[in-house]
């Protein structure tokens, strides 16, 4: 069995590859970690906290993060992913005006 910490690293790598994700963000409430993984005998559930790039469509980016994380964990760890929840913790600054 793969540890939740390793699964969280896998999920983080997959999420960072999505266009529009500026990076992972620690959760604002209760000092949560950027990636939370809970596993059961049937499936694995993941929550990913992200920071978006300015101008990104949150719904589109979140859908792509969900897809990419689920596919990556299924392929790399041979897991059944039950859910991938995406929490947008913030949006990056707008580009500087010239």
> Any idea what the CATH number is for the domain that residue 14 is in?
3.30.70.1350
Does residue 16 form part of some domain? Answer: yes
Whole-prediction pTM: 0.88
Does residue 87 form part of some domain? Answer: yes
DSSP state of 29: G
Q: What residue numbers bound the domain in which 11 lies?
A: 4-91
Question: CA 42, CA 85: separation in Å to the nearest integer?
Answer: 18
Looking at the structure of the chain, the number of domains it has is 1
Mean pLDDT by 10 residues, the chain (98 residues): 89 96 74 82 92 95 97 93 94 83
Does residue 97 form part of some domain? Answer: no
| Number of Cβ atoms within 10 Å of the Cβ of 97 | 4
Does residue 46 form part of some domain? Answer: yes
Compute and round to an integer the Cα radius of gyration of the chain. 14
Q: Structure tokens of 67?
A: 């897809």
What separation in angstroms does the CA of 24 have from each of 35, 53, 97?
Answer: 8, 11, 26
Does residue 61 form part of some domain? Answer: yes
């Amino acid at each position: 069995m793969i540890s939740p910490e390793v699964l969280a690293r896998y999920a983080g790598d997959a999420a960072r590859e999505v266009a529009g994700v500026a990076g992972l963000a620690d959760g604002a409430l209760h000092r949560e970690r950027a990636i939370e993984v809970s596993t059961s005998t049937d499936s694995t559930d993941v929550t990913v906290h992200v920071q978006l790039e300015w101008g990104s469509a949150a719904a589109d980016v979140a859908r792509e993060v969900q897809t990419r994380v689920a596919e990556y964990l299924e392929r790399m760890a041979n897991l059944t992913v039950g859910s991938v929840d995406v929490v947008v913790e913030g949006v990056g600054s707008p580009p500087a005006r010239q």
